[in-house]
A and B are shown apart, each in its own frame.
Chain A
Amino acid sequence: MPGSPIRRRVLAGAAALAAWARTGGPRMLALAASPGVVSVAAPAGAQLAAGAAPGSTPANGAGLTDFLTHGRPVRVGRIKLDLPVLAENGNSVPMTVSVDSPMTERDYVRVIHLVSERNPVRLMASFFLGPYSGQAQIVSRVRLAGSQRVFALAEMSDETLWIGSADVVVTLSACIDES
């Protein structure tokens, strides 16, 4: 809807933010460079990972998954996150996550968390499993607000944490305003 009052307001806000970022230091420049990110950041506020460029989170999720791990050691492996390398529409991206686990009474996956680098809501979903599940594989469809690295964190019955990730290029981000 070009020329609509909302659109103009959003664009004016983006321009103002860009101008402020140019004077405010290089950390904000990356954010201001993309109008898509600006419109995500505006209503999301504090929930967006501050400063980090998409795709820059290390493989063990340090910095991004701290709110789930609380400093406990996280090992990379045992969990496989399948997302398309290129997603045309961020509103619906097929996702498969599976964990290498015998799923017995003594050794099973308790929960699988999905964490996004760039979505306004970082914790996308948590799937709770148990020995009654028999295997640890979940299939769903997710929303992605832009190209990013998505993480899957598994909490085992023995309290260990395992993490896996996938890089996705999103052509059309899950839209924030309807224009």
Chain B
Amino acid sequence: MTARSQVPPTIRRGEVITVRLLIQHPMETGYRRDDTGDVIARNTIRTVRCLLAGREVFRADLSSGISANPYLQFPLRAEQSGVLEFSWIDDAEVQETHTQVLTVID
């Protein structure tokens, strides 16, 4: 498990909902040193994207100014059901994805 997300269980068409996303990531600043005095390489998530049915509905560019295990809460006007696909890439070029089903009732 590298991420968790949450959307309301019942959503009406056109309703503005709050999407919550929690990613497990150290967000290393690159300023810390380990016990032997070596610099711990910077490794922060650069970009988080959220797609709904293939269309981008949110994007965030992060840096070391965001806490470890970044938490993001953003709004979304739900017009259709679909799969919310979160994806992010960090400085180590590791890309991960997480999906969440969004169900809109009429």
A interface, CB within 8 angstroms of B: 5-6, 9, 40, 43-44, 91-93, 103, 114, 116, 119-121, 123-144, 174-178
Q: List 17 contacting pairs A-B, 8 Å CB cutoff, sorted by A.
A: A91-B67, A119-B64, A125-B60, A125-B61, A126-B61, A127-B60, A128-B60, A129-B74, A133-B74, A133-B75, A133-B76, A133-B77, A138-B74, A140-B67, A143-B65, A176-B29, A178-B32
A155 CA / B22 CA spacing, docked (Å): 26
Residue in B37, B57, B75 whose CB lies within 8 Å of A6? B37
Chain A positions within 8 Å of B65 at CB level: 114, 116, 119, 121, 123-125, 142-144
Residues of B in contact with A, size category:
20 to 34
Label chain B's interface by main secondary structure: strand
CB contact between A142 and one of B32, B33, B60, B67 (< 8 Å): that residue:
B67
| B window 55-91: CB within 8 A of A | 55, 57-68, 70-77, 79
| B72 CB contact (under 8 Å) in A103, A116, A130, A138 | A138
The answer to whether residues A43 and B31 also contact, given A127-B60, A135-B16 and a CB cut-off of 8 A, is yes
Chain B residues with CB under 8 Å of A176's CB are 29, 31-32
B20-34 CB mask vs A (1 if < 8 Å, else 0) is 000000010111111
Q: With A128-B58, A177-B32 given, is the CB distance from A123 to B63 under 8 Å?
A: yes
Q: Tell me, in angstroms, the Cα distance from A120 to B28 when the chains sit together.
A: 13
Closest residue of chain B to A96 (Cβ to Cβ) is B73
**Quick one: given A135-B16, A137-B75, are A125 and B62 in contact (CB under 8 Å)?**
yes
Bound-complex Cα distance A125 to B71 (A): 13
A44 proximity list for chain B (CB < 8 A): 31
In the complex, the answer to whether A175 meets B74 with C-beta atoms within 8 Å is: no
> Cα distance A138–B59 when bound, in Å?
11
- What residue of chain A has the Cβ atom nearest to residue B39's Cβ? A43
- The interface residues of chain B lying within 8 Å CB-to-CB of A143 are 27, 29, 64-67
CA distance A13 to B84 in the complex (A): 50
User: For A93, what are the chain B residues with a Cβ–Cβ distance below 8 Å?
Assistant: 67
**Residue B66 contacts which of A9, A132, A142 (CB distance < 8 angstroms)?**
A142
How far does the alpha carbon of A143 sit from the alpha carbon of B65 in the complex, in Å? 5
